[in-house]
């Protein structure tokens, strides 16, 4: 016969049990959610166990299946195994399936893909989408089981879901500005909306913030969900304390368990005890244990007279019990009160090695006490990955608050928690040693992960022993988890931090996780903890959402988190790093949304916020700063410089200004030895130097960054560096080496299923092959091989187009793809006109080129990518030129000239404007160089078409070519001799002139230099050499 619990509120149990049976037989199925809430000590867990035993469980805690109803067992959200999404998924799978690998085959397959992506360094939208696929597949597999069985999910201590809401989620989640399923709360609510044929039981203290959120989610789900799943019903049940009848049952049950009570508990004494404890079962049990210890009722009577102050009643009752208990009993109760994450025999041995024997015996005896809970939790063994069952002891959650007022002082707690942290560090070190010195790549993303469990559990004690050091440790661990794409681990850390942070919340006194001891420690040692966490919680949400590609949500959260600026304004010195890091991630999402000016403004504002942290200042204070403090400051300031430089380069055409910012970034990263950040900045610098035709620094920077990433063994980042190296090798005419690198990167990204990486590799490979096709003579390619290269490039670009338009949705890359498609059709058009293609074929190719350029121009204009728009217009003009549609080409070129500020142009008899590198948009100079060269080509070809050698037209063409060379020099500070193709094109045209014309042109160079006041050294070297090649220069 199964155990029953006659003293709890049986009416509520009866109602829920009957509801489960009725829903099982209801053809419409659907889901019923019961929120069973009651104050601490009212018997919620016993009620849950009672329902479980009726459904076939031996003790209510364990899963069972009976008559078509499957009971999950009680999943206590206080436990390490059930306070994270992955753990809950695993326990539900074990509860509802005899053959998990078969029943959840699709789920395991999708989770395997997720782990593969995460361990390979994949992030952003691809990983986020796969995470959501895992969740959808789990719910799909669960629904298959629900076709034949009614499922009952039971969760205890659900108030932890409310405690685990960080300040940002608590503030914005309720008003619809933050919707995320990576937290336990978000995951559970999402799964409820996908269920069919189930009952969800949520047991816990009142959850004023969480309850309306549950109701709102259910209301929305009922409006949107598949009708075949049935409706979701929500019912809230308030449990009161014991009634008189239930109190009689309670005393009868306790007298049967402890016969000595019968001699002491007269009817009058029972009445005094019940009324004095306000019919609270927990307080009544503490009183009974005190009576059993003293053998007298009189010792508890004084405490029971405090009827109007239940906290004082509990405090006095526990004091009586402690004062009359044996030393071993007091010691065990002290350590149970201290170890809120559970007391194990191993931990007890570490705390009391000399007295372990008798204390371990006493600990086992404590299992029978009514205010002690025992759970079989995994035992972490460094010898193997096997997790043996180990009994862990907890107090009833309401007991912790009472014990805090009786047993410990804040200083004692801090000292003893340092010992516990040492014990955790020892366990972690042993496990790491067994794994070869570091966590496995998928740690934090699987259930069987003892190291992550220990890290999460230890956070509470780290915060207790030193709030500031503990908080810095949390930030560092969360940062590492984010960088290594350990989403589940990061959210578990967040939950643990939020549960401790309620002690810093001015409104958190009534939270179940609150502790008077921790409040006192925080007030004395880190009074700014709550405000720091408020800013950092907003920062972390913006960071998560930005990383996942959910940029609209990221910027909305940043804008709604108005408290961040308010806190910063109150004390800029204290909060500048947190506030600036929030700005980094907000600006990054704005950047991806095409809001470049807004992003730049935030980055530039960040540098003002961080002005205090100069390199000289940090060098002087590095000994005072904690290691992570220095790393965070250097990361925030360095990343601000890096991102501002990236924005200048990628979106605004300010290459030299970008190099200034990136050089500053590198100094901060080097100071704090942030090698991954160094590698990223070096990569950016190499790409910019390549754009400026600075070959040695371009190769040096990218290869140095690649080496750092190879040393870190990050396959994803190594492949990204290989893409950069391929681009640079292509730039400096090493196409075969470029292709070798891009192929390696493509293989890596394909193996890891990284869509963005594949898109970048396809785009880069297409650019290389198109360039080789256009220079076929240089590489010994036949016309047929050139055609194959172009067709292959177009095929690659079609793949990249799908990725950047649909999968990744990175607009700037999509513009690049469209522009490159236009260029490929432009190259194909030239090959076709030089071969035997039909007129219809060439017209189709020409139209495709025009269409792709036009698309690129329109999209760039929509997102205010002004330099990309002008670049595409110039490329379109080249296509028109090749088709001999000179008027259309000139129309595009004149529009570019009209939109280019006059300050960037060489004008007759006006000295060129001097602009500092930090302010100049030097991409204008490159563009003007291209425009002037094309105008010169058009003028010259028109002259040759007229079949007359017109000296004025020839001089006009030379004028534009000379301006082109000057602009190129102003752009890169390197002689235009570097631009081999440009030199060849000028030479090939003027070599068609007769000697007399060529001589006149040679004399005209100096006049043009004087006319535009161009420094001679910018243009003379190239034209001196050019006219020597033409056989008429130098001229005296």
Which has the closest alpha carbon to 975: 731, 967, 903?
967
Is 341 within a domain? no
* CA distance linking residue 410 with residue 405, whole number of Å: 10
Sheet with 31-37: list strands edge to edge.
64-66, 69-76, 150-156, 198-204, 31-37, 232-238
Dihedral sign for Cα 631, 560, 493, 421, please: positive
Strands (E), 381-525: 387-395
- Is the Cβ–Cβ distance between 313 and 362 less than 8 Å? no
Strand 232-238 vs strand 31-37: parallel, antiparallel, or unpaired? parallel
Those residues of the chain that have pLDDT short of 50 are 1-7, 381-388, 441-447, 976-977
Whether residue 457 lies inside any domain: the answer is no
Domain match, 879 and 983 both: no
* Distance set, CA 789 to CA 240, 724, 879 (Å): 78, 21, 19
Where is the domain boundary, 292, 323, 354? 323
**Same structural domain, 267 and 226:** no
8 A C-beta contact, residue 880 and residue 889 = yes
Give the per-residue pLDDT at 354: 94
Q: 645: which 2 tokens?
A: 């430089």
Task: Report how far Cα 113 is from the mean position of its chain's Cα atoms.
Answer: 18
What's the CA gap between 1035 and 1007, in Å, rounded?
13
Retrieve residue 349's tokens. 């041995």
pLDDT tens, position by position, 274-319: 999 998 889 999 999 999 999 999 989 988 987 677 788 999 999 9
How far apart CA 744 and CA 764 sit, in angstroms, is: 12
Task: Report whether 333 contacts 391 (CB < 8 A).
Answer: no
Q: At 811, which helix (H) or strand (E)?
A: helix 811-834
Question: Are 116 and 248 contained in the same domain?
Answer: no
285 falls within a domain: yes
Q: Is 164 helix (H, G, I), strand (E, B) or coil?
A: coil
Same domain, 958 and 979: yes
DSSP state string for 491-536? HHHHHHHHHHHTTT-TT-TTSTT--HHHHHHHHHH-TTHHHHHHHH
Question: What is the number of structural domains in the chain?
Answer: 4
CA-to-CA dists, residue 798 to 667, 793, 820, 822, angstroms: 40, 9, 11, 12
pLDDT of res. 429: 95
Which residues pair with residue 885 across a beta bridge?
Answer: none
Bridge partners of 376, per DSSP, are 391
Judgement on whether residues 861 and 931 belong to the same structural domain of the protein: no
Using DSSP bridges, classify how beta strands 387-395 and 372-380 pair: parallel, antiparallel or unpaired.
Answer: antiparallel
Closest CA to 196 of 155, 234, 236, 142: 142
Cis peptide bond N-terminal to 1034, omega within 30: yes
- Same domain for 194 and 96: yes
Check whether residue 29 and residue 134 sit in a common domain.
yes
Contact 957, 1001 (CB under 8 A): no
| pLDDT, position 832 | 94
Q: Count CB atoms within 10 A of the CB of residue 506.
A: 6
- Other beta carbons within 10 Å of 900: 17
Rounded CA-CA distance 763/743 in Å is 12
Domain boundary among 887, 918, 950: 887
Q: Is residue 426 part of a domain?
A: no
Q: Which residue is it, tokens 């001999």?
A: 884
Residue 343: strand pairing partners: 393
Q: Is 947 left (phi over 0), alpha (psi -120 to 50) or beta?
A: left
**In 3-state terms, the chain is what percent helix, strand and coil (to 5)?**
70, 5, 25
Q: Tell me, yes or no, whether 986 and 882 share the same domain.
A: no
Identify whether the C-beta of residue 30 lies closer than 8 Å to the C-beta of residue 215.
no
Phi, psi at residue 265, to the nearest 5°? Answer: -85, 85
Last residue of a domain, one of 206, 238, 270: 238
Domain shared by 261 and 161, yes or no: no
**What is d(CA 660, CA 920) in angstroms, rounded to the nearest whole number?**
12
Flag whether 738 is in a domain. Answer: no
Angle of CA points 409, 410, 413, to nearest 5°: 90
Structure confidence at residue 239 (pLDDT): 81
d(CA 1036, CA 1023): 15
Give the phi and the psi of residue 485 in degrees, each rounded to 5: 60, 45
Residue 520 domain-assigned (yes or no): no
Q: Which two tokens stand for residue 91?
A: 């326990």
Name the residue range of residue 50's domain: 10-238
The tokens for 392 are 């862990």
Taking the CB of residue 259, how many other CB atoms lie within 10 A of it?
8
Q: What is the value of pTM for the model shown?
A: 0.85
725 domain-assigned: no
Say whether both 1005 and 1028 belong to one domain: yes
Q: Which of 624, 662, 605 is nearest to 917 (CA)?
A: 662
In 3D space, the residue among 27, 134, 60 whose CA is nearest the CA of residue 90 turns out to be: 134
DSSP tag of 229? G
Give the 3-state secondary structure of residue 812: helix
Q: Give the contacts of 595 (CB within 8 A, at least 6 positions apart).
A: none
Does 906 share its domain with 868? no
Q: What is the pLDDT of residue 171?
A: 86
Place of tokens 């200048």: 648
The rounded distance, in Å, linking the Cα atoms of 431 and 48 is 36
Co-location of 50 and 116 in the same domain: yes
Q: What single string gives the DSSP state of each residue in 562-611?
A: THHHHHHHH-HHHHHHHHHHHHHHHHHHHHHTT-HHHHHHHHHHHHHHTT
DSSP tag of 745: H
User: b/e for 361-396, b at 16 or more Cβ within 10 A?
Assistant: ebbeebeebbbbbbbebbbbbbeeeebeebbbbbbb
Q: Which of 191, 180, 198, 178 is nearest to 136 (CA)?
A: 191
Please answer whether residues 936 and 876 qualify as being in contact, where contact means their C-beta atoms are separated by less than 8 angstroms.
Answer: no
Token look-up 């760039």 returns: 860
Tell me if residue 651 falls in helix, strand or coil. Answer: coil
What angle is formed at CA 952 by the lines to CA 948 and CA 956, rounded to 5 degrees?
115
Show Cβ contacts of residue 594 under 8 Å, excluding neighbours closer than 6 positions.
811, 812, 862, 863, 864, 865
Alpha-carbon distance of 758 to 766, in angstroms, equals 12
Length of the chain: 1036
Q: Is 612 helix (H, G, I), strand (E, B) or coil?
A: coil
Distance, CA of 518 to chain centre: 30
Contact 641, 661 (CB under 8 A): yes
Residues 127, 130, 135, 141, Cα dihedral to 10°: -160
Please indicate, yes or no, if residue 562 is contained in any of the structural domains: no
Beta bridge partners of 203: 36
Q: Which residues does 627 contact at the CB level (< 8 Å), separation at least 6?
A: none
Query: Which domain CATH number covers 40?
Result: 3.40.50
Specify whether the backbone of 298 is left (phi greater than 0), alpha (psi in -120 to 50) or beta: alpha
Residues linked to residue 202 through DSSP beta bridges, in sequence order: 35, 155
Whose CA is closest to 538, among 930, 166, 261?
A: 166
- What's the CA gap between 999 and 251, in Å, rounded? 119
CA distance 997 to 958: 11
């Amino acid at each position: 016969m199964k155990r029953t619990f006659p003293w709890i509120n049986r009416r509520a149990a009866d109602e829920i049990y009957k509801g489960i049976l009725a829903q099982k037989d209801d053809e419409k199925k659907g889901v019923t959610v019961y929120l069973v809430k009651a104050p601490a000590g009212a018997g919620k867990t016993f009620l849950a166990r009672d329902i479980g035993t009726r459904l076939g469980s031996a003790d209510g805690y364990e899963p069972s299946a009976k008559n078509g109803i499957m009971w999950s067992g009680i999943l206590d959200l206080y436990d390490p195994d059930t306070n994270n999404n992955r753990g809950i998924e695993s326990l539900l799978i074990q509860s509802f399936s005899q053959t998990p690998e078969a029943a959840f085959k699709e789920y395991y397959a999708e989770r395997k893909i997720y782990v593969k992506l995460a361990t390979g360094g994949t992030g952003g939208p691809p990983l986020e989408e796969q995470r959501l696929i895992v969740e959808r597949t789990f719910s799909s597999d669960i629904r298959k089981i629900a076709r034949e069985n009614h499922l009952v999910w039971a969760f205890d201590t659900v108030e932890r879901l409310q405690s685990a809401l960080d300040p940002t989620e608590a503030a914005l989640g309720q008003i619809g500005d933050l919707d995320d399923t990576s937290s336990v709360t978000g995951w559970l609510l999402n799964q409820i909306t996908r269920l069919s044929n189930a009952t969800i039981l949520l047991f816990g203290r009142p959850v004023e913030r969480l309850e309306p959120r549950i109701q709102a989610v259910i209301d929305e789900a009922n409006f949107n969900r598949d009708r075949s799943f049935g409706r979701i019903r929500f019912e809230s049940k308030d449990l009161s304390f014991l009634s008189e009848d239930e109190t009689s049952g309670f005393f009868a049950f306790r007298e049967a368990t402890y016969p000595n009570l019968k001699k002491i508990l007269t009817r009058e004494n029972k009445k005094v005890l019940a009324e004095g404890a306000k019919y609270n079962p927990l307080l009544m049990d503490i009183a009974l244990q005190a009576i059993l210890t003293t053998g007298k009722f009189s010792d508890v009577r004084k405490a029971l007279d405090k009827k109007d102050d239940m906290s004082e009643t509990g405090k006095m009752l526990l004091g009586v019990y402690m004062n009359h208990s044996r030393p071993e009993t007091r010691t065990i109760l002290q350590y149970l009160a201290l170890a809120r994450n559970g007391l194990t025999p191993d931990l007890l041995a570490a705390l009391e090695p000399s007295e372990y024997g008798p204390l371990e015996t006493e600990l086992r005896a404590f299992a029978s006490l009514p205010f002690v809970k025992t759970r079989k939790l995994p035992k972490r063994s460094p010898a193997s990955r096997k997790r043996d069952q180990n009994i862990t002891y907890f107090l009833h959650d309401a007991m912790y608050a009472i014990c805090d007022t009786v047993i410990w002082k804040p200083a004692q707690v801090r000292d003893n928690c340092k010992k516990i942290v040492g014990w955790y560090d020892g366990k972690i070190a042993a496990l790491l040693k067994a794994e070869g010195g570091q966590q496995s790549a998928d740690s934090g993303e699987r259930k069987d992960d003892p190291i992550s469990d220990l890290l999460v559990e230890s956070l509470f004690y780290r915060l207790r022993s030193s709030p500031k050091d503990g908080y810095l440790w949390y930030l560092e661990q969360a940062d590492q988890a984010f960088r290594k794409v350990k989403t589940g681990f990061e959210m578990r850390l967040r939950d643990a931090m939020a549960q401790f942070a309620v002690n810093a919340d001015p409104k958190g006194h009534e939270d179940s996780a609150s502790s008077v001891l921790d409040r006192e420690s925080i007030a004395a040692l880190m009074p700014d903890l709550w405000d720091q966490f408020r800013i950092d919680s907003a920062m972390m949400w913006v960071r998560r959402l930005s990383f996942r590609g959910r940029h609209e949500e990221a910027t909305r959260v940043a804008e709604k988190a108005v408290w961040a600026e308010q806190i910063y304004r109150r004390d800029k010195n204290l909060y500048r790093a947190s506030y600036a890091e929030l700005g980094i991630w907000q600006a990054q999402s704005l950047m991806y949304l095409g809001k470049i000016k807004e992003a730049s403004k935030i980055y530039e504002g960040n540098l003002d916020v961080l002005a205090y942290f100069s390199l000289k200042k940090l060098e002087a204070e590095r000994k005072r700063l904690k290691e992570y403090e220095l790393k965070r400051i250097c990361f925030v300031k360095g990343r601000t410089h890096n991102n501002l430089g990236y924005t200048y380069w990628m979106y605004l055409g300010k290459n030299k200004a970008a190099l200034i910012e990136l050089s500053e970034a590198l100094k901060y990263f080097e100071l704090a030895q942030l090698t991954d950040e160094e590698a990223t900045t070096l990569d950016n610098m190499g790409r910019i130097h390549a754009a400026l035709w600075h070959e040695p620094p371009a190769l040096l920077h990218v290869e140095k960054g690649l080496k750092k990433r190879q040393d870190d063994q990050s396959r994803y980042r190594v492949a990204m560096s290989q893409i950069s190296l391929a681009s640079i090798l292509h730039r400096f005419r090493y196409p075969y080496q470029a292709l070798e690198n891009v192929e390696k990167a493509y293989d890596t990204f394909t193996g890891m299923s990284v869509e963005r990486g594949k898109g970048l590799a396809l785009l880069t490979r297409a650019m290389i092959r198109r360039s080789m096709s256009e220079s076929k003579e240089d590489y010994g390619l036949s016309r047929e091989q050139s055609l194959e290269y172009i067709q292959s490039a177009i095929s690659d670009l079609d793949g990249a187009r799908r990725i950047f338009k649909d999968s990744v949705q990175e607009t700037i890359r999509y513009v690049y793809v469209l522009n490159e498609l236009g260029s490929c059709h432009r190259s194909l058009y030239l090959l076709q006109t030089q071969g035997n293609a039909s007129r219809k074929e060439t017209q189709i190719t020409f139209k495709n080129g025009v269409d792709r350029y036009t698309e690129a121009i329109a999209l760039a204009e929509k997102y205010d990518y002004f330099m990309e728009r002008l670049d595409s217009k110039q490329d379109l003009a080249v296509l028109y030129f090749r088709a001999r549609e000179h008027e259309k080409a000139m129309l595009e070129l004149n529009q570019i000239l009209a939109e280019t500020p006059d300050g960037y142009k060489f004008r007759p008899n006006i000295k060129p404007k001097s602009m500092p590198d930090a302010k100049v948009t030097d991409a204008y100079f490159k563009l003007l160089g291209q425009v002037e060269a094309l105008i010169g080509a058009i003028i010259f070809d028109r002259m040759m078409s007229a079949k007359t050698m017109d000296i004025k037209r020839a001089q006009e063409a030379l004028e534009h070519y000379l301006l082109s060379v000057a602009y190129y020099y102003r752009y890169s500070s390197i002689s235009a001799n570097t631009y081999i193709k440009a030199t060849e094109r000028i030479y090939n045209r003027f070599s068609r002139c007769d000697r007399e014309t060529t001589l006149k042109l040679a004399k005209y160079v100096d006049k043009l230099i004087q006319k535009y006041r161009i420094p001679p050294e910018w243009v003379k070297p190239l034209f001196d050499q050019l006219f020597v090649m033409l056989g008429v220069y130098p001229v005296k």
